[in-house]
Structure 1
């Protein structure tokens, strides 16, 4: 296992949308709303949405499964970057990439995130742990 880089994302980023999830069943609605939000803020929709939808789903699933609900998913923009920021309330568990896990064994969310995003990191506030991923947008 290797730890993710600990850093807050783009400090001047503006929040475009925020979704609060309490169950896995809400992931479908998140993806639909994310597509609409991306369409509102960029012309490069299809490929960008595909990558961001996988990352949003993986990070939100991790937060729901391993964190303490509710999970908050925010879409941010700073200059020419769109940023997904996913928060849960489990301050004791640090996000780590399990690089030795074989395909098909599950637990590849952070590996996929590192593949599809241009930058990935995490940070804590007083009450939440956040994992973020940045995309050109």
Structure 2
């Protein structure tokens, strides 16, 4: 397994939307509301689809491996859109399972790295964040 790069992205990014999740059942609402928010930003279908998959995968990982609540934010800085997903397990560094066979699970970070322009993570005093950026 390999680690994601540790870095705080886009410090001047403005928050567009925020979702707080406690259960897997709330992922459907996240996907629908994210699509609506991106439609209002005039993003192309491809960017919307990739961002929706990434937000869903990162939120699922946070719900499964992190500590609640999970907070998903959609941010914008210049020509970049950023998905930032936080949970409260600061000590669990996100790792990419590169050698895991298909169908064995654990592909969320691999999908994120292939769909996003850039991916990383950072910790604050209270939370761990995994983020992915996309050209808008």
Q: Distance in 2 between matches of 1:18 and 1:60?
A: 12
The CA RMSD over aligned residues, in Å, is 0.6
User: What is the count of residue pairs matched by the alignment?
Assistant: 136
Whether 2:104 is the aligned partner of 1:105: answer yes
Give the TM-score, by structure 1 length: 0.97
Q: Distance in 1 between matches of 2:41 and 2:101?
A: 37
Residue in 2 that maps onto 1:63: 62
The runs of 5 or more residues in structure 2 that have no matched partner are none
Q: Distance in 2 between matches of 1:59 and 1:5?
A: 15
Q: 1:40, CA displacement in angstroms? A: 1.2
Q: Which runs of 4+ in 1 moved over 2 A?
A: none
After superposition, the C-alpha distances for 1:73-112 in whole angstroms (9 at most, x for unaligned) are 0000000010000000001110010100011100000000
Q: 1:125, CA displacement in angstroms? A: 0.3
Residue in 2 that maps onto 1:72: 71
The runs of 5 or more residues in structure 1 that have no matched partner are none
Give the TM-score, by structure 2 length: 0.98
